[in-house]
Amino acid sequence: MASLIACPHCGPRPKEEFTVRGDAGITRPEPDAGADAWHAYVYLRDNPRGRHREHWHHTSGCRRWLIVERDTVTHAIYSAVDAAATGETA
């Protein structure tokens, strides 16, 4: 059975309909931030184990950005909410 993500707009859909952007907790630096801040933003990522919040795009559905909370070990999906509703856009 395929993993399902409960899209708040389309209902439960297979994960293959989505594209993952990555960590939903990363904040874009200010335009005048130094080179070190931009290097960290573009290239450095944690590889968390366990529950994690990520941006997912419903590419083959409503085309909305979602914040999906999932376990990176078991791949269990705990929640999926519209990113715009949380104020955390991708």
**pLDDT of the residue at 89:** 59
52: CATH: 3.30.2270.10
SS3 category, 52: strand
Percentage of the residues of the chain whose pLDDT score is greater than 70: 94
For residues 25-44, give the mean pLDDT: 94
For residues 35-47, give the mean pLDDT: 93
Q: Answer whether residue 90 shows pLDDT above 60.
A: no
Question: Which amino acid is residue 3, in one-letter code?
Answer: S
Q: What residues are paired with 57 via a beta bridge?
A: 19, 65
**pLDDT of the residue at 48:** 86
Can you list the alpha helix ranges (DSSP code H) found in 1-90? 35-43, 83-86
Pairwise CA distance, residues 55 & 36, whole Å: 24
**pLDDT of the residue at 3:** 85
Q: Would the pTM count as exceeding 0.85? A: no
pLDDT digits (tens, 9 = 90+) for 47-64: 889 999 999 999 999 999
For residues 1-12, give the mean pLDDT: 88
Q: Which domain holds residue 21?
A: 4-26+35-86
